Amino acid sequence: MSAAAVAQPRRVIEEAARWLVKVHEGAMSEQDRLALQAWRAQDREHERAWQAADSLARAMGSVPPQLGMAVLEGARRRQRRAMVKTLAVLLAAAPGGWLAWRHGGADWAAAQRADYRTATGERRAIVLEDGSRVVLNTGSALDIVYTAQRRTLILREGEIMVQTGKDAAGRDFFVQTRHGAIRALGTRFLVRREAGGESSSVAVLEHAVEVRALLAQAAAPAVRVEAGQGLRFTAEAVAAPQSLPRGAGAWVDGMLVADKMRLDDFLAELTRYRSGVIHCLPEVAALKVSGVFRIDDTGQALAALQETLPVAVRMRTRYWVTVAAAS
């Protein structure tokens, strides 16, 4: 898919999201209404994008009215831009939707056809023919390719935990993402495609792995990652290994461990296990969260935040949650 072909649907998605926010601000002039009608009539893709945006708003109970106040105040335009970006991401990820196909391109299509998939909030364990064990985290897609020469897992999206089995034929074991390949050295490790698709990460729980970026030169050595270490890599480069944070891999046991984690980062992680949006307002984003939370009960995790932090959790619907400063 060419860059121009990808940019076009992205632009349409963002424009539809902007119109959706503007409509629900409640300040549409007659000129604005005519402009929206003209935009929808300009291209069939515009109309399809608008219908998808409108359906999304109805499903989530509309756009929060406080967003309009923030825009009119003019002092929090960044919040409006963040909301538009969030809506655009939701539109692009709508299950089975036209926008998801157009925006995700080949990656999205491959994920839908993957050998194994998990829905939001679902985890699934599988055992491969060589005895290797794989656990798929929420919203993951995985293909299995075993040949006479090598064993390969292709992570299309999401996150997996791998515990390699001993292969009678002595074949190497690889996990591949769009950013590169990880070679297992008799080990247990995690691989994740980061949100936004710009990088992947690996976390080693036992033994070691070797990581090579997709576009690395053939002569460049692979980066070795030992137990207790992890790193991120893009298609162009592999970062230096770092010590793993406490609780790495706790999701396998249904837990999310936070150790002085920023609130906005914690909520972004929690959102992976919950349908809809959790919107963190800027004034509380830097608050620190520590504790152990069950990922199969995100409602309980949100309630715990109100008990331990000076925040208020406001649920317009189950699918649209705002975390703000407590009154």
d(CA 327, CA 325): 6
Phi-psi region of 298 (alpha: psi -120 to 50; beta: other; left: phi over 0): alpha
d(CA 315, CA 25): 19
**Four-residue CA torsion sign, 52, 54, 59, 63:** positive
Q: Where are the alpha helices (DSSP H) in 163-279?
A: 263-271
Residue 118 has pLDDT above 80, yes or no: yes
- Segment 59-116, tens digit of pLDDT: 554 444 444 333 333 434 555 566 666 566 555 555 444 344 444 445 666 777 889 9
What residues are paired with 294 via a beta bridge? 255
For the packed helices 3-25 and 30-42, what is the interaxial angle rounded to 10 degrees?
Answer: 150
% of the chain residues with pLDDT over 90: 55
Which pLDDT value is given to residue 34? 86
Beta carbons of 273 and 118 less than 8 angstroms apart = no
Element (H, E) at 80: helix 77-93
d(CA 250, CA 311): 26
Confidence class of residue 45 from pLDDT cuts 50, 70 and 90?
A: confident
* CA distances (Å), origin 283, targets 79, 182, 264: 11, 39, 10
* CA distances (Å), origin 271, targets 199, 268, 280: 19, 5, 11
Q: Where are the alpha helices (DSSP H) in 152-297?
A: 263-271
Beta carbons of 57 and 63 less than 8 angstroms apart = yes
Which pLDDT value is given to residue 97? 41
CATH 2.60.120.1440 fits 114-243, yes or no: yes
Confidence class of residue 185 from pLDDT cuts 50, 70 and 90?
A: very high
pTM of the model: 0.69
Confidence class of residue 292 from pLDDT cuts 50, 70 and 90?
A: very high
Beta carbons of 233 and 210 less than 8 angstroms apart = no
Lowest mean pLDDT among 95-99, 141-145, 323-327: 95-99
Phi-psi region of 276 (alpha: psi -120 to 50; beta: other; left: phi over 0): left
Sheet holding 159-163, edge to edge: 124-127, 133-136, 159-163, 188-193, 200-206, 229-233, 242-243
- Segment 201-260, tens digit of pLDDT: 999 999 999 999 988 877 789 999 999 999 999 999 999 999 999 899 999 999 999 999
d(CA 184, CA 287): 37
Topology (CATH) of 254-325? Phage tail protein beta-alpha-beta fold (3.55.50)
